[in-house]
Structure 1
Amino acid sequence: MKIAFFYEGLKPGGVEHMIANLSHDLIARGHSLTLILAGAPTPRDYPVAPGVGVHWLRHPTSSARGTIVTLARMLRAGRYDIVLSAMPQFNNAAVIARLLSGTKARNVLTERTNPQADYARLVGWKQKAWHKAAMLAYPFASEIVAVSAGLADSLARFARLDRNRITVIHNPAYRPHVHGPEAAHPWTRDANGPVIVAAGRLVEQKDFATLLRALALVERQDVRAVIFGDGPLRAELEALIAQLNLTERVALPGFVPDITPSIAAAGCFVLSSAWEGFGNVLIEALGAGASIVTTDCPDGPREIVADGRFGALVPVGDAPAMAHAIDAMLRAPAAPERQVARARDFSVAIACDRYEAVFRRALGA
Structure 2
Amino acid sequence: MVNPLLNVLRRALLGALRARDWQRARSAPPPSDRQIRILLLHANGMGGTIRTVFNLAGHLARTHDVEVVSVVRNRENPFFPVPPGVRIRYLDDRVAGRKGFLSRLPALLVPRDEAAYKWFTLETEIKLIRYIRSRREGVLISTRPALNLLTALFAPPEVVTVGQEHLNLASHQRPVRRQIVRRYGRLDALVTLTETDLAAYDAALLARPRVLTRMPNAVTRLNGGISPLTGKTAITVGRLTHAKGHDLLIRAWVHVAARHPDWTMRIFGSGRKRDKLRAAIDEHGLAGKVVLEGAATDVGAEMAKASMFVLSSRLEGLPMVLLEAMSKGLPIVSFDCPTGPAELITNGHDGLVVDMGDVEALADAICTVIEDQSLRHTLASHAVKTAAGYDMEIIGKRWEDLIASLVQPR
> Which TM-score applies when normalising by structure 2?
0.78
| Counterparts of 1:103 and 1:272, CA distance in 2 | 43
Asked whether the equivalents of residues 198 and 212 of structure 2 are also in contact (C-alpha less than 8 Å), the reply is yes
Aligned partner of 2:69 in structure 1 is: 36
Given that 1:37 and 1:55 are in contact with CA atoms closer than 8 Å, whether structure 2 keeps it comes out as yes
Asked if 1:276 is matched to 2:316, the reply is yes
1:107 aligned partner: 161
Check if 1:213 corresponds to 2:251: yes
In the alignment, what sits opposite 1:340? Answer: 384
Specify whether residues 50 and 104 from structure 1 end up closer, same or farther in structure 2 by C-alpha distance, changes over 3 A only.
same
Show the counterpart of 1:361: 405
Q: Is the 8 A contact 2:226 2:304 kept in 1?
A: no
Specify the code of the residue in structure 1 equivalent to 2:141: L
Judge conservation of contact 2:266–2:291 (CA < 8 Å) in 1: yes
Residue 18 of structure 1, aligned match among 35, 52, 62: 52
Contact 2:61 2:86 in 1 (8 A): yes
User: How far is the alpha carbon of 1:66 from its aligned partner?
Assistant: 5.2
2:145 to 58, 73, 88: 88
* Cα distance in 2 for residues equivalent to 1:19 and 1:314: 30
Whole-Å separation in 2 of the counterparts to 1:265 and 1:107 = 42
Q: Distance in 2 between matches of 1:139 and 1:319?
A: 40
Range moving further from structure 2, 6-15 or 148-157: 148-157
Provide structure 2 residue ranges, at least 5 long, that are not aligned to the other structure.
1-33, 99-117
Q: SS at 2:329's partner residue?
A: coil
1:155-170 to structure 2, matched below 5 A, reads: 155-157=201-203, 159-160=205-206, 165-170=211-216
Which residue of 313, 318, 340 maps to 1:300? 340
Identity within the alignment, %? 26
Does the 8 Å contact 1:293/1:313 carry over to 2? yes
- Indicate whether 1:53 and 2:87 are aligned: yes
Alpha-carbon distance, 1:142 to partner: 0.7
Deviation at 1:329, TM superposition (A): 0.9
What residue identity is the alignment partner of 2:405?
R
1:278 Cα deviation from its structure 2 partner:
0.4
Alignment pair present for 1:260 and 2:300: yes
Q: Give the residue type in structure 2 aligned to 1:362.
A: L
Specify whether residues 164 and 142 from structure 1 end up closer, same or farther in structure 2 by C-alpha distance, changes over 3 A only. closer
After the TM superposition, which residues 54-69 of structure 1 pair with which residues of structure 2 at under 5 Å, given as runs? 54-58=88-92, 62-63=119-120, 67-69=124-126
C-alpha change, 1:334 and 1:97, in structure 2 (3 Å) is: farther
Q: Go from structure 1 to structure 2 and tell me whether the alpha carbon gap of 1:70 and 1:163 turns closer, same or farther (over 3 Å shift).
A: closer
Rg larger for: 2
1:118 is aligned to 2:172? yes
CA root-mean-square deviation: 2.6
Distance 1:38 1:164, change over 3 A: closer
Task: Indicate if the aligned counterparts of 2:187 and 2:209 stay in contact, CA closer than 8 A.
Answer: no
Q: Indicate conservation of the 8 Å contact 1:6/1:94, yes or no.
A: no
Equivalent positions of 1:132-151 (< 5 A) are: 132-151=178-197
Task: Tell me the amino acid that sits aligned with residue 332 of structure 2.
Answer: I
CA distance in 1, matches of 2:146, 2:123: 11
- Could you tell me which amino acid in structure 1 is paired with residue 237 of structure 2? A
Who is 2:6 aligned against? none
User: 1:35 and 1:236 mapped to 2: Cα distance?
Assistant: 35
Q: Is structure 2 residue 36 aligned with structure 1 residue 3?
A: yes
